[in-house]
Amino acid sequence: MEPTMIQVCLTLTLALSQTPPVVTDATAVPNASAVPAAPEVADVSAGTAAPAATAVPAATAATTTPAERRNTASLTAAIDSLRARCPANMVASSIGNSAGRRAIPLLTLSADPSTAGDRPAILMLAGMDGPRWSGTEAALIAAEAIARDHADMLRAVTVYVIPRGNPDAAEGFSTDPRRDYSGDGIVHDNDRDGTREEDRPRDLNGDGLITQIRASANSTPWTAPTLIADAAELRLLRAPDAKLGEVPVYAVWTEGIDTDGDGRIAEDWLGGIDPERNFPHRWPEFEDEAGSYPLIAPESKAIADFVMSHPTLFAAFVLGRHDTVINVPDGKARTAGGVPVMLDEADVATFAELAKSWRELSGQKRADARDSGGSFVAWMNAQRGVPTFASTLWGRPDAPAPEAPKPADAPNVDKAADKKADKKDAPKPADAEAAAWLEYSDRVCNGAGFVPWTRIDHPQLRNVEVGGWVPGFRENPPIAQVPALGDACAKFIAAIADARPKITIAEPTVLAVGPSLWRIETRLTNTGRLPSVMRGGRADLVTPAHVIRLSAPMDRIQAGNRNDVIRGIDAGSARVYSWLVNVPPGEEVAVELLYNGKSAQRWAFRDGEKITAEGSK
């Protein structure tokens, strides 16, 4: 069997022996007891300290073996095995089915899964992109590390893990030919010509990949040339500069042919809606893969329903194509309607503090993120107000410097100076990042990341070459690095848990100021490092609110509001509440903190003396 691109890269860079991924057949995601559909109250107890941040993490003793391009049956087997190793604090279930009727798996991690919905919760989401198999593998490894190493945290916080949110795209990438595509299994008429999926990409050169074709010297109905080869790196294409007299040479398409004779090539592909372009915030309505309306994709709808039915979620962590941890949004960007594109400026500092811990834990320095319109992370941050951190898991590594010439072969000073001058005057690639990826592919991976442009005979076009990036090369780290990155994910989840909002009311003071007239005062604080809700979720009815309530009837309250609805409480903030109330002798009066309609704390008094203190520690 030919080695995969990642295995070639791994062999050349690390020279490590790696146990081959075990792929075991299975039939479906285990349908164990389901997660409670509607959690009750937010926990107000203090949490455990987060583990100390480190530099690039070392691999843990995780027993989940990562597998490149794992299919649905193999994922099912991996989840089944994982659950068997962690029976006390892990439950496997499903949040729904994909368009292709594949289960969307869910792992619930809790010290007591039967009461998981009663505690504040974190959601970890991966597997929304077809080519990005490493996110699913890191999520599985992180789930095992959390269940094994963070028992104290799971007594205070529930962790939900959706390791593969887009099963159809992942299944498509697990088979050849591979293609960089994240649409689900909905049958879709991409070119809107009344026929569905009749013009699919084709593997014209038989290498098991769908890359690109570039052609010159073609006429109508084919697309006119718009690009030229970059003189600084001939494998890359760029727009011509008319001021320099440059004229277009190449037209570029996805690898395929024009099956339906409409002058377009491979434009009606297999699959339909990309769930990560189908969430409501900044939904790209004119983009074909975004669907005809938000949440039409069963995958995005199932995930949104899960979020809505779990109001104790205080944070989320996404592994996929988007990034908010390497390049933290500055909060200045706004939509045309004045809504934050991702974060509000007032929330950036708190968000950035935790994002820094991811960089320290993972060692990640770069992220090649994509537009966040219609994404889960944008919807959660800007509309739900739930702090949601997104990572691409890795970024382009630095290619090693070329070896210095041996002393015996060293050039003389004049030649060295000339060479330095030539290098200074050499043209620079228009796309420096793509050129850097090529350098990494060439020097570290023996060119495994890019298919060289190769002439083929095309049935319709002249002067055609096939080539381009290997699907998944830039999205996934070498497989030997995945266990360490999964361990970093587990530690980052622990850091988020430690920073969670901790909303409490202090023991009220009760002072008699007249016959049956009492002054009651208390203080509401958030001693956590995250807000209860960020600015995007503080509108009425968007997210559950905290409520402070005095039990006395309104006609007995001489000063102060009987109920105060609090839509968001910033980290480190405090509010003082005071009431003047008539309470007849022998009658109870109580101050209560509620969340999502459930009591979180309650202090009761009779004749100025405390009689109960519920939910307070």
Please report the pLDDT score of residue 10 as a whole number: 43
- Are 536 and 340 contacting, i.e. CB atoms less than 8 angstroms apart? yes
Helix (H) or strand (E) holding 505: strand 503-505
pLDDT surpasses 70 at 165? yes
For 5-176+309-396+476-498, CATH gives 3.40.630.10
At residue 416, the pLDDT reads 56
Examine the pLDDT at 62 and tell me if it is beyond 60: no
Provide CB contacts within 8 A for 61, sequence distance 6+: none
Q: Residue 511 pLDDT more than 90?
A: yes
Q: What is the mean pLDDT of the chain?
A: 86
Residue bearing the bigger pLDDT, 323 or 36: 323
Give me the pLDDT at residue 380, please: 97
Mean pLDDT confidence for 49-78: 69
Please answer whether residues 158 and 170 qualify as being in contact, where contact means their C-beta atoms are separated by less than 8 angstroms. no
Q: What local confidence, expressed as pLDDT, does residue 24 receive? A: 33
Q: Which residue has the higher pLDDT, 333 or 416?
A: 333
Length of the chain: 617
Q: How many CB atoms are located within 10 Å of the residue 244 CB?
A: 6
Output the pTM of the full model: 0.86
In which residue ranges of the chain is CATH 3.40.630.10 found?
Answer: 5-176+309-396+476-498
User: Which region among 7-16, 109-118, 300-309 has the lowest average model confidence (pLDDT)?
Assistant: 7-16
Q: Which amino acid is at 96?
A: G
The Cα–Cα gap between 29 and 24 comes to 13
Q: What is the pLDDT of residue 203?
A: 94
Q: Is pLDDT at 502 greater than 70 in this prediction?
A: yes
Q: Is the domain covering 503-614 a CATH 2.60.40.10 domain?
A: yes
pLDDT digits (tens, 9 = 90+) for 585-612: 999 999 999 998 899 999 999 999 999 8
Residue 444 has pLDDT above 50, yes or no: yes
User: Would you say residue 185 has pLDDT above 50?
Assistant: yes
Per-residue pLDDT tens over the stretch 524-570: 999 999 999 999 888 877 888 899 999 999 999 999 999 999 999 99
Residues of the chain with CATH 2.60.40.10: 503-614
Model confidence band, residue 193 (pLDDT cutoffs 50, 70, 90):
low
What is the pLDDT at residue 427? 86
Share of the chain above pLDDT 90, in %: 72
pLDDT digit string, tens, across residues 288-306: 889 999 999 999 999 999 9
Q: pLDDT tens across 244-281, in order?
A: 999 999 999 999 998 877 778 887 666 689 999 999 99
C-alpha span between 577 and 549 (Å, rounded): 10
Per-residue pLDDT at 421 exceeds 60: no
Can you give the pLDDT at residue 424?
Answer: 64
Sign of the torsion formed by the C-alpha atoms of 128, 490, 383 and 157: positive
**pLDDT score, position 400:** 87
Looking at residue 405, its pLDDT comes to 65
For residue 478, give the nearest of 43, 37, 77, 12 by alpha carbon: 12
Give start and end residues of each alpha helix (H) in 244-389.
298-308, 345-362, 376-379
Tell me the average pLDDT across 316-335: 96
